[in-house]
Amino acid sequence: MKVKFSGRGLLAVVMSSAVLAGCVGSAAVIPAPRGQVPVSRGPAGSVTVPIGEPVRAAPPAPQRVIDPGFRRPPAGLEERIFGLWRAFPGKTGIAVQRIDGEWTLQQRGDDLFPQQSVSKLWVTLTVLDAVDRGALTLDRKVSITPADLTLFHQPLAARVRSEGTVTMSVRDLIETAITHSDNTANDSLLRTVGGPDAVRRFIAAKDLGSIRFGPGERLLQSGTAGLKWQQAYSVGYAFQQARAALPDATRKAAMDNYLANPVDGASPSAIARALTRLARGTLLSPESTDYVLGVMSRTHSGPKRLKAGLPAGWKFLHKTGTGQDYKGMTAGYNDIGIATAPDGTRYAIVVMLGSTTASIPQRMALMQAVSGAVAEFHGN
């Protein structure tokens, strides 16, 4: 015997079966034709229609717990930074940004400060962007001769003078320029990637904001001193001797002009944003991002600047910059970097001294106090 139900009849049966389910004993299943619902006949002619498993509500989605420090600076940090900034003599710029968050704080963060060797970072990023685009490779060989030497800190110069010509890969030049802040290595990278204009195009294309790039180490330093560059200045202390022979008025005017409108100037806030974007992986490919962050973690310069203010368990990668002195005043004394807490939270920290007569230990103490405050208030 076959039982057929219309849609309305089936609904009635389903409803009645739910009421009668408690009094149904063993039942004989009545096979249903294809496309119809199978039914079973129980005692007293009762009919049961299977209706499947009961529908259960899905468990609520877990709520994401937002760290209180994600959206706003920890209570007390801004006041601490302000107090440090206000008490320090000279033109000082500070910016702190939580990389994995939504806040930044600053003091004089939008003013332009001399970068000095901080600008080596933009050269390296420009080179790595060219690698990402296939225009360069890290294994590309670059020749360096005595005509390519610069001035001030250039450990590479000794090899060049000894060997006549030194050939290095782009990879090795990046390592030397960043970790040892070698001016000749940096200028060799700059020459290889297309000169200052290539770096400026990279900064503009990536919309990095208030970050300038100067004319290269030789022209930057000679202009700051009031000299016209001569390649002979790259040998020994020839540059320092020529600078010392200048009239004091010439030196002062050149230094004042540089500080008033630094050709390599950048704002602390723009640098903090750039470091944040670099750490988040939005400036370079994942491979280039990991590579450059690794190089910055091996920086030798400035061990008593920002790095020294962080407690055990924190990691720090950075780039320093130091300008020329004039009568006890330094035009540019900087450290910029990325601090990582033991729980993985990251902060971009930038401290730039545009001009100051404070002693070097006092400058380093300020930087240590800034990074130390970030660590102290972390998690509050």
Q: Are residues 94 and 26 in the same domain?
A: no
Q: Are residues 32 and 159 in the same domain?
A: no
Q: Are residues 145 and 227 in the same domain?
A: yes
Q: Are residues 105 and 14 in the same domain?
A: no
Does any domain span residue 368? yes
Does any domain span residue 66? no
Q: Are residues 157 and 286 in the same domain?
A: yes
- Is the distance from CB of 148 to CB of 191 less than 8 angstroms? yes
Residue from 264, 255, 220 nearest 113 by CA: 264
CATH of residue 109? 3.40.710.10
The segments of the chain whose pLDDT lies below 70 read 1-68
Q: Are residues 214 and 347 in the same domain?
A: yes
Does any domain span residue 206? yes
**244: which 2 tokens?**
């010392």
What is the model's pLDDT at position 197?
98
What is the model's pLDDT at position 63?
53
Q: Are residues 41 and 101 in the same domain?
A: no
Q: Rounded to two decimals, what is the model's pTM?
A: 0.82
**367: which 2 tokens?**
């930087």
What is the model's pLDDT at position 7?
41
Q: CA-CA distances (angstroms) from residue 119 to 72, 224, 336?
A: 30, 16, 11
Count of beta carbons in the 10 Å neighbourhood of residue 24: 16
Q: Are residues 87 and 135 in the same domain?
A: yes
Q: Are residues 132 and 25 in the same domain?
A: no
Give the torsion through C-alpha atoms of 337, 341, 346, 350, to 10 deg: -30
What is the model's pLDDT at position 380?
75
Does any domain span residue 158? yes
Does any domain span residue 287? yes
Name the residue range of residue 238's domain. 77-377
Q: Are residues 233 and 363 in the same domain?
A: yes
Q: Are residues 112 and 214 in the same domain?
A: yes
Q: Domain tally for the chain? A: 2
Q: Are residues 369 and 228 in the same domain?
A: yes
Does any domain span residue 171? yes
Does any domain span residue 221? yes
